Each structure stands twice: as C-alpha cells, then as structure tokens.
Structure 1
C-alpha cells in the first residue's frame, strides 16, 4: 500500500524535542519545504512527558526530562518560554541546609562529616585522569580505584560512594562504564542554571506544538528505510502497518537506544563507521519512582533526603502533596525494571524505615521504565569507555550520499549532550544543512 504518490522534500523520523525543533526550524523559511514528521507514539514529546492523572496533586510530575538545562537567553528553548515565579532553579549538588544526609542505619550525618566527604570526592574526581594510559581508555572507576580503596572508614566510604552517585545520576550510568578520558568536570563544576517548570516540562513542549502547527503523523512506526543507488530516485520509508512514503531527504531523530537496538532497518546497511559510532557511544538509564503517602512524615523543610545506600540514595521531597520521588540509574535501574511495582515500593519503604520507623503505607505510586520502552530503550547518551568527541561527530555525520541526516541529543557535537536543548540545537544545525541542499537542487 502506498500512502502518498507525492515526494516530500524531507521526512523527519521522530517527534521528540529534536523532531519538533526540526519542524519549527523549517517553518522559519519564507519558502517552506514540503515536509512531514513521523512519530511512533500516540503523542509528541518523546522523553519529555508530564503525567497529570496519576496523583490528586496540584503539581504534575515529569516522567522524563524535568528541567530546561542551561537556562539563559541563548538557550533555544528560551524564546518559547516565559518563566513563572513558581518555577525553581534546581541545585544538582544539594549540600545546603534544606537537605538531610542519613547513613543507612538512620543516623543523621553531621555537617563537618559531609564536608569532609565532599572534599575527598572532589580530590578523587580531580585526579581521575592522572596516570591514565595514553593509548587506551579506562572507566572513571578504574581511574579512581586506587585512591578509593584507601578510604578505610566504612561510613566515609559510603558517603563518598553516595557523592560519586551524583556523577552516575548525571551520566545515567555506573562509574565502571563511563569514559575517564572523555569525562569532564567542567559542566559539573560550572554554575548550572537549570529551570524546573512548575506546570511540567512535557506540558511546555506540548504547548509549543499546539502554538506552532506542524505536519505530524502519530502512531507511525518506521521499520525500513530504503535508499536507492540512483540519487535521482526518492528514498522509500516503510512503516509497521505497511504504509510507504517517498522523500528526497531524511532526518533521523530517534533515540540512540533505538539505533542500538536496530529499530529501523536501513537498506543498504549503515556504513561501518556509522554503526561503530552507534555501538561505541554510551546510552544510560535514569528512572523515577513517585510515591504518595497519606501524610508528610518527614521534615517539611527538606528539599531532598539523601541516604548513603548503594540502592535508593536520592529522594526529592514534595511535602505539599505528601510525595517523595526516588531517582535511580544505571545497572540498579535496569535490575528494578525486572521487578513488580509492589516489590520496588516495599524495598523503598524498608530502606527508609531506619530513618523513619513510623513511615506509613504508601497510597499511590508511579514508576518509570524507560529501559523497557521500545521507543527509547534508556534515558540519554554519555561517553562510555572508548567513546570520544570523534564518536559524537560520527553520530552526527550525514551518509548515503548526503541524503540521510542525523539529529538528537546524542549528536550535538557543538555543545552539551543528553539534554532537551541539546536535541534542539542539533536539529537547528541539521535543518540548515538540508535546506541548503534543497536550494542547490532547485537552483
């Protein structure tokens, strides 16, 4: 079955932030190319989604991205958003007075002990690249292993491991998987201005789509892309329900996890250099566990509850709605995805009991499982062992005689990766290049 006999100028695969940004960029031109966005889900937004139904809550919950990272005038999202006085600037390293640190036995850690652990962690991170072999890469953990093993006090080791957990959370992967050579503390140490949206990041993205009508086709799972050897022949796109589309150019914006899983079959096969880059780049997992209780049993002044555990370490507090949000990542998050909701919730309750013996039974919960989601298979990209800046550039490089282009947070070699603004920036870059190609043909 052929859906359309017409040939599009460009078809965009995926309507997450990168696909949306591509459409917005195309609409800026005085002569708008004939384009279409194909989205596998029954909604737009991809990994940016706000749930407004699960909880009887005045504050919606973001299941994926929560913050506009690097919020400043140059941010490509800033032009679409006017901050509310209810929005919050988020602190990724919560050492302030409104955050409580506990050991696994429920003991509240002293400020002096916390500061000492923070200093030890900083020294470990500063020395992560010292003594690394020149010819090959190792993991961050291998880079700090020797110094880490010198920590004799068990409680201090747990505190340092919890601090290192901030890096794992930031990268969505375990330290033994993250590249020591490509790791940089620059972003972690900079004054990050990350804006948490009161109404929800997913809602904001939906508003952008509503205000800028785009030719989007939902429930359209692309399975095959056939690129003919004759450049004058159109590219043929086939969907799971056997629809077909013809186009001059394609922009692939699907998540790196789907590329790794081979969700789309390319004919002829992807060039080796492209497939190698897909295989080499890291793609982490970050999940959230929202738990609502009948009452707020913790100190309402707390913004975060942090535990020196090797499992459930970080809890974001929302006393107004009697909610705690546990965030988990990497191997532990993958392990949890194999368990039932009830098993996970019971583990969390047991982990908090040493701190709060009278913790009540939760009334409602919501658990994300991005690793099991067939339209993403994870959270966001990072530099795993062996991945470099050149890997990132290869992920972004066009192929098939410059007819297939690539965008998404995992391709943003000109800036940061792993963020919604990264996805926007990458699509703005690629659409300019495709548009120039179309003009060359028309001229």
Structure 2
C-alpha cells in the first residue's frame, strides 16, 4: 500500500478526450493548479485508438472513433489540427451514391427505382416520428412506426427499408427498438454534418496532443474507490487496484458511461439517487468494427462502400489499396457477435459476401473490436434511449458531494453534441474551468 504525500488540487480520472481536454485547459492558467491524470489503460486516448501493428497498411486502422465529427472553426479539436492535402471530408454518414455499390443478399444489384421507393417510405417514417406528441409518454422509435412498418407487404422492399433504417441504428449504435422517439436527432444539436478523416488516424492524433503538451499521466491506474469525507475541508482519497492512494481537493471523473453503469468505481458515501438514476436512464450504444484483409482486392477498386440488404451484415467500407474490408455492426447484432470467436464471425461474413463475389479468396488476417466487453468502455458511446432527454445529460454533468466531484465525458455534454470526441473535449474544457474558478 502506497499513499502519495502530495495533495493535488485536482485529479482527473481517465485520459480519454474529456480528461485530455480538461488537462489542456488547466495548463492555460497561471499559476497552474497541481493536477494528475489517472488512466486505467496502458495507453491514452480511451475509445480513440489507432492500431499500427496488426496490418501493414497505407491507411490508419482506427478501432474506435475515426472522424472528427462536426468539423468547423468552433470545434475544440480544430486548433490541434494542421490541415493537410490528405484530409478527407464527408458530409453525410455512410453514403455516397457515386462510390457505393448496392446489392441484395443474393448478389443481385438494386435498381434505382427500388432504392428510391424504400427511401421515400423511410422518410415518411421519420416524419411520423418527428410529429410524435411530446405530451405523451416516450416510446421507442420502432414502436412509433410499427403499424406503418408492418404494412409493408413486399419482402424486397422491406429489406431495403431495413437497410435504410439501419443508417440511424449504426449512427446511434443501437436498434430502433431501444432509441427514444422524443429525442430523435437530438444528439448532434442541429449541427450540419461535416466529418474530417485524418491521414494519421484519430487515435494517433489524440495521442500526439498528449505527447506534445507533456500532460502528467499515470497509466495502468485502475481506480476502484473514492472516499469523500463529510467535512468539506477534508481531502478526498482515491484508491486504485494496485493499492495506490492519492489525495486531492477536487476530482473530475471522465470515465465512459458504460463503466459508470457497471459500478466500476465504488463511492463512499454512495452516489446520490438522482445521479445514479441519470446513469441508469441514459443509453449506451455498441458499434463494432471488423477489419478483414484479403490477398488481393476482388471488388471494384473505385468503391468506398459496399451495402448489402442482409439482415445481418450490411455496411462494408473499402480500403482497396490494402485489400481490406471494414464491416460495421451495431446494437443487438454487435452484442451477439461479441460472444462468438473471430473464426465463427469471419465464416458468417464470407457466407454473406460469396453470393456477390463467388470467386473471392480466403481472408489472410482480421481484427475485430469488442467495445461492449472492454472493461474500460462497456460500450461505444452514449445515445438517447427511450425515456432519456437532455435533462438526463444535464444530471450526468451536474457536480455532487458539495461540488467536490465533477463529471465530464461525451455523455455529459448538455447544450452541445453527445457521443463524439468533440463532445468529450467540450465537456472537459467546461469542467476544468469550473473547478479552477472554485480553486481561485
């Protein structure tokens, strides 16, 4: 057992984007308050991580966050980014008709007329969801459209409708049966889509910010207990799994919402009921990526995406120069697949692709994320599940224990976006300012 002799002004728990942003904010002030970041992983960045060793590739392999969402001058990440002619901008999620191939599950191509028909039906669904009476009790998005959905008689049209609905499911990382009707389209705070893909990978970009600013981080420090004494003038004690103890005046907790739901940190006294209720009420989605490399590129090298109206594997991104397909799976399917072996999953994917590409070779290498099983994530990012609102996000952000425990993270970014790296950065800046003002 080791107890640090130093009394810190602030200890930040978690060196993901929110914790990093808070530390950057604190470094601006003179005199700089004494602070430390405790990170459970053996690396920084949290759910933003660029893999550099599995594949020999020209393109970065981002296992978590890939894009700087909502890119614009106000984005807090923009000041850390040096523009490059290799930057790529996307203005819609997952879809560019000129570089996307659309197939039915049996390998036949979809006609433009069929796709337009399905899109029109889905637009009507979303219009119906937006018109839902706000005075009624919240229901899931699927329940809001169930009657209209069940009237679709043509099975081919239904498959296309399902694929169009899956755009929202993948963006929110949850099935429509889990997502709030009242909070539909609230996670982006009406900011127009503009996503920046970085040539070095988003995880590497975040890691370089930490290195460049020499942030005080201790890795492999799994916080297990926080003891807050009733006396407001007493120090807070933080204990870790390896029997380290730290003393501080204020704590900023930035760990993912999924970890809070799993009660990864024990609080003495226990969290107030209103805080625990907010943690339980907010949604956490699951979006996993499966990278599969082949000995050669067997699809059209001009393609960026391959979409298949399957009831399982729908959205493939193409990294043709590296012979890699990137499959996105979300919600219930992602949770199901996390219980299977890599080999079982790859075999199912091959069976899905073979009707379209009967001459495809066997894959040579693959890499799969399992964010739902990751003990330092337990999910991908937050969303508005049925019954959650912006007020829920405000409660997640609200300080407690007489203002000594503060909260940041993408799930706390009320008044802005949620679920994204820029959301986390905004929340980290916000809470660092609040704590600094209390210190002074």
Both structures adopt the same fold (TM-score exceeding 0.5)? yes
Where structure 2 has 5 or more consecutive residues not aligned to the other structure, the ranges are none
Taking the aligned partners of 2:321 and 2:428, their CA distance within structure 1 comes to 38
Taking the aligned partners of 1:131 and 1:22, their CA distance within structure 2 comes to 38
Taking the aligned partners of 2:399 and 2:204, their CA distance within structure 1 comes to 32
Per-residue CA deviation, residues 44-69 of structure 1 (Å, 9 max, x unaligned), is: 00000000111121212000000000
Moved over 3 A (4+): 129-133, 185-191
Per the normalisation by structure 2, the TM-score is: 0.98
Taking the aligned partners of 1:94 and 1:151, their CA distance within structure 2 comes to 24
1:20 counterpart residue number? 20
Taking the aligned partners of 1:326 and 1:131, their CA distance within structure 2 comes to 33
Residues 132 and 143, structure 1, Cα contact 8 Å, conserved in 2:
no
Per-residue CA deviation, residues 356-415 of structure 1 (Å, 9 max, x unaligned), is: 111110011000011110001010000101101111100000000000000000000020
Query: Cα–Cα, structure 1 residues 190 and 14, in superposed 2: closer, same or farther, change >3 Å?
Result: closer
Residues 315 and 327, structure 1, Cα contact 8 Å, conserved in 2:
yes
SS of equivalent to 1:266 = strand
Per-residue CA deviation, residues 64-121 of structure 1 (Å, 9 max, x unaligned), is: 0000001111100000001221121123141412101111111100122212211211
Residue 431 (str. 1) matches residue 432 (str. 2): yes
Taking the aligned partners of 1:317 and 1:116, their CA distance within structure 2 comes to 26
Residue 280 (str. 1) matches residue 281 (str. 2): yes
Superposed, which structure 2 residues align to 1:42-441 within 5 Å?
Answer: 42-90=42-90, 91-132=92-133, 134-184=135-185, 187=188, 191-439=192-440
Query: Cα–Cα, structure 1 residues 131 and 9, in superposed 2: closer, same or farther, change >3 Å?
Result: closer
Per-residue CA deviation, residues 262-283 of structure 1 (Å, 9 max, x unaligned), is: 0000000000000000000000
Where structure 1 has 5 or more consecutive residues not aligned to the other structure, the ranges are none
Taking the aligned partners of 1:320 and 1:199, their CA distance within structure 2 comes to 16
Residues 408 and 423, structure 1, Cα contact 8 Å, conserved in 2:
yes
SS of equivalent to 1:345 = helix
Residues 70 and 191, structure 2, Cα contact 8 Å, conserved in 1:
no
CA-atom RMSD, angstroms?
1.3
Taking the aligned partners of 1:205 and 1:222, their CA distance within structure 2 comes to 22
Deviation at 1:436, TM superposition (A): 0.6
Taking the aligned partners of 2:193 and 2:395, their CA distance within structure 1 comes to 28
SS of equivalent to 1:371 = coil
Taking the aligned partners of 1:79 and 1:188, their CA distance within structure 2 comes to 21
Number of residue pairs aligned between Structure 1 and Structure 2: 439
SS of equivalent to 1:8 = strand
Deviation at 1:126, TM superposition (A): 1.2
Residue 40 (str. 1) matches residue 50 (str. 2): no
Residues 316 and 328, structure 2, Cα contact 8 Å, conserved in 1:
yes
Taking the aligned partners of 1:190 and 1:40, their CA distance within structure 2 comes to 33
Per-residue CA deviation, residues 212-247 of structure 1 (Å, 9 max, x unaligned), is: 011100000000000000011100000001110000
Per the normalisation by structure 1, the TM-score is: 0.97
265-274 vs 150-159, which moves further:
150-159
180-189 vs 308-317, which moves further:
180-189
